[in-house]
Structure 1
Amino acid sequence: MPLGKLFLFSGVVASGTCTLMYFVTQKKFSKTLYYQLALEHLHSHLEALEALGPPVNIHYLHLTDRFNFIDITNAQLKIPVSGSKAKGLLYVRSSKDAPFKRWNLQEVFLELKSGQKIPMFKSNEENRNDTKK
């Protein structure tokens, strides 16, 4: 095989592999419990739905954004969303007490491009901690 064709073939294979890995990673994020719970809060929150306007679209995460962080007991995501009226970011913070326990949402809020913040959920545990301070 000529060297030029080998480089072209290798480039196509590498590009295809990277693209496939990107979509597989996005799909895995979209199936996590903390991601799904946040979207449930969005779809059931009338003020957020009204601000975005129907239909609400969920976009891919920016995998290089440093805000997006997941480890064994904590997760925080910034999910891009849009509607017919506005675009924004759905901020999600979740945690779990131990590695094999269930994820619990700590906070979910929508920040529109206009700067408006719409709180959607804050755990009772955090509310208790805030009142103790």
Structure 2
Amino acid sequence: MRVSTSKLQQLTIFTTLLTGGGMGTMYYLQQKKFTESDYHRLALQKLEECPVAMQSLGAPPLKVHNIHLTDRYNRVDQHMAQIKIPVTGSKTGGYLYTFSVRDPNTYSWSLKQAVLKLREGQTMDLLNPPPPAAAQSRATEHTYGLDTDHWN
């Protein structure tokens, strides 16, 4: 049986649109799953509670971007979640590196590590944040808290 070229072109276009739509839907659902998770929410809550970090970003407003799904740092399973959340404020942006574990009895997540690394190289341990006065006097330093060189 012979199929016309125009029919093959139509089939190709239809298949391409269907595949693209399916991939777009899967991407959207995966991002939604991340943003609705407790480990994501706990990390952003900790960032918003740190006035030094928020001031360094120039937030509010704080803009939280989609997680890069192909980034090898991002790993989630039933027991632990390690994610790298892109954030920006009006001054600068950076990544919020987080590590959370899930209690096997209560199934609740607890944040074990939250480090903000700004574009300029400055890092802040959000679980042990610097006091606001110390941050101003140490403004010329580039590191607060943990060393995140191994996260790059």
Listed as ranges, the matches of 1:25-44 within 5 Å are: 25-44=30-49
1:2 aligns with 2:7: yes
Structure 1 residue 97: deviation in Å? 3.3
Q: How many pairs does the alignment contain?
A: 122
- Structure 2 residue runs of 5 or longer lacking an equivalent are 1-5, 129-152
SS at match of 1:23: helix
Which ranges of 4 or more aligned residues in structure 1 deviate by more than 2 Å? none
What RMSD, in angstroms, separates the aligned Cα atoms of the two structures? 1.4
- Structure 1 residue runs of 5 or longer lacking an equivalent are 123-133
* Counterpart residue number, 1:97: 103
Amino acid at match of 2:111: L
Which of 66, 70, 80 is the aligned partner of 2:76?
Answer: 70
1:76-111 CA distances to partner (integer Å, 9 max, x unpaired)? 000000011011000110012327621111011100
SS at match of 2:126: strand
In our comparison, the structure showing a higher alpha carbon Rg is 2
SS at match of 1:88: strand
Change (3 A) 1:71 1:99: farther
* Counterpart residue number, 1:59: 65
TM-score, normalising length: structure 1 = 0.87
Change (3 A) 1:76 1:22: same
* Counterpart residue number, 1:129: none
SS at match of 1:5: helix
1:19-67 CA distances to partner (integer Å, 9 max, x unpaired)? 1110110001000001001111111110010000031100000000000
TM-score, normalising length: structure 2 = 0.77
More strand as a share of residues = 1
